[in-house]
Amino acid sequence: MENKQDCMVNFSLHFSHTHSQSECDGVFNGILQERESKKSGYYDLPFKSCALQEARAYIKENEQFLDSLSYLVIIGIGGSSLGLKAIDGMLEHLPCRNALKLVFLEHTDPLHIVKALQGVALHNALFIVISKSGTTIETSSLLKYVLERYKVLESAESKRHLLAITDKDSPLEAWAKSVKVKYFEIMPNVGGRFSILSAVGLVPLAILGFDIEALLQGAAKMTQGFFERKEEHILYKALTYAKQREHIPMNVLFSYSSLFRQFNAWYVQLWGESLGKINVNGEKVGLTPIALIGSIDQHSFLQLIVQGVRDKSVTFLSLNPAHSLKPSIPDIRIPYLESTDFVNNQSFATLLHNQRLATMQTIENEGITTDCIEVMGLCEESVGILIAYFELLTSCVGNIFEIDTYNQPGVEFGKVRLKKLFES
């Protein structure tokens, strides 16, 4: 069990800001109004216990059944899968993680479907369909495939292998009721990409063995701190990004651990789908998210950042190296490769840490807008802090842009055209 110090997350802005108190107050009051008006319900999720209690009750009632399973199969796309994938990716190294293999059915690529379901049988799997409505074409099509292939609805026993997580009073909930499949509700005012701290994330994460209460506590800590005006760096960063959007329209999240790969993907959806909109003045606004993994992408994208067009800001996300002192680089001299011996006897974590520092210093030296997030130790609480931080930052930028941060009309246009293609 990690202690409180281990679960700390440090945030530091490496750029100067000249934002007035009135500007900060204006953004904060806008977010406060959003929360109080219930425009988005995600602000309240860290403080609600309903989904937590429902998840725990389900696990207690089905303990023997869950212990018999080998696969947890998630049927869902976008906000219904990315957050779960991100959190499991960051925490799957924890000893509390159950041995269940987590499988995602989110793609209509037939080759992926066949490969993903190798080894999956009805008796060894729990399928969870996650969708706000159930009418997302990828999700409904994959659900139909699972129902037919595994004959899930044939008996009361087979139905135990399927759960639904959906909006209250949604078409998917109506279907689940009609066929007597267990379902969990989320509130309709919680958008998909902001839903990870609802039953969407808490139920499968609890089944996987994670401490979902600590996850909520971390998110609550960040959210409460923000509304008590103890996390002003979020307002400063949001104002800086919004003011610079004309000449710095791209934001790079440079994460220095492979454990952050899926978190990067969650950030890309959250940032891109929330902020790419037409504002109240009819202007097209947005900030383009770019997700990189260090040190790998130092050998691909860094050159563009340093000497390419100055149209990017960079956030470094890293782990404190003190928690990963093994393995180390052996003290071996290889003839003709002596120039690399300066890292001998050092841990790989120290090497990665110094690679991040060197890269950050190089970028800062070019006058590029930079900030840093350092996670002292990856645990449920620190992950909850990260989730809440990026959600709050996104809402603040959206408020400054004068957009609806929580809809996605551009995505809906494509859905209408898809249906017409099949009707023609």
Q: Does one domain contain both 46 and 146?
A: yes
Amino acid, res. 252: V
Q: Does one domain contain both 47 and 142?
A: yes
Question: Cα dihedral sign for 320, 325, 326, 329?
Answer: positive
Q: Does one domain contain both 107 and 180?
A: yes
3-state secondary structure of 187: coil
Residue 364 lies in a domain: yes
> Is 148 exposed, middle or buried, given 0-12, 13-18 or 19+ CB atoms closer than 10 A?
exposed
Peptide bond into 300 cis (omega under 30): no
CATH number of the domain that 91 lies in?
Answer: 3.40.50.10490
Residue 417 lies in a domain: no
Per-residue exposure over 191-219, b if at least 16 CB sit within 10 Å of its own CB, e if not: bbbbbbbbbbbbbbbbbbbbbbbbbbbbb
The string of pLDDT tens digits covering residues 261-291 is: 999 999 999 999 999 999 999 999 999 999 9
Per-residue pLDDT for 252 more than 50? yes
Residue 63 lies in a domain: yes
> Is 332 exposed, middle or buried, given 0-12, 13-18 or 19+ CB atoms closer than 10 A?
exposed
Alpha carbon distance 195, 45 (integer Å): 8
Residues serving a catalytic function are 273, 299, 415
Q: Does one domain contain both 65 and 105?
A: yes
Q: Does one domain contain both 143 and 202?
A: yes
Alpha carbon distance 319, 376 (integer Å): 6
3-state secondary structure of 54: helix
- What average pLDDT is seen over the chain? 95
CA nearest to 281, candidates 399, 402, 404: 402
Asked which of 160, 191, 210 is the last residue of a domain, the reply is: 210
Asked which of 193, 210, 227 is the last residue of a domain, the reply is: 210
Domain total in the chain: 2
Q: Does one domain contain both 89 and 77?
A: yes
Identify the pLDDT of residue 411: 77
Identify the pLDDT of residue 96: 97
Identify the pLDDT of residue 323: 67
Residue 2 lies in a domain: no
Identify the pLDDT of residue 2: 45
> What's the domain range around 134?
40-210
Q: Does one domain contain both 139 and 234?
A: no
Q: Lowest mean pLDDT of 112-121, 219-228, 290-299, 317-326, name the range.
A: 317-326
- Within 10 Å of residue 1's Cβ, how many Cβ atoms? 9
Q: Does one domain contain both 99 and 176?
A: yes
Q: Does one domain contain both 14 and 74?
A: no
Residue 249 lies in a domain: yes
Q: Does one domain contain both 177 and 235?
A: no
Question: What phi, psi does 28 have (nearest 5°)?
Answer: -60, -45
Residue 153 lies in a domain: yes
When pLDDT is averaged across residues 127-149 and rounded to a whole number, the result is 96
Q: Yes or no: say if 85 and 262 are a contact pair by the CB < 8 Å rule.
A: yes
Residue 273 lies in a domain: yes
Identify the pLDDT of residue 7: 77
Per-residue pLDDT for 3 more than 70? no
pLDDT band for position 204 (cuts 50, 70, 90): very high
Per-residue pLDDT for 223 more than 70? yes
Identify the pLDDT of residue 1: 38
Q: Does one domain contain both 58 and 192?
A: yes
HSE (side-chain half, CA atoms, 13 Å) at 19: 25
Asked which of 182, 210, 238 is the last residue of a domain, the reply is: 210
The string of pLDDT tens digits covering residues 233-247 is: 999 999 999 999 999
Contacts of 310 (CB under 8 A, 6+ apart): 247, 248, 366, 367, 368
Q: Does one domain contain both 89 and 121?
A: yes
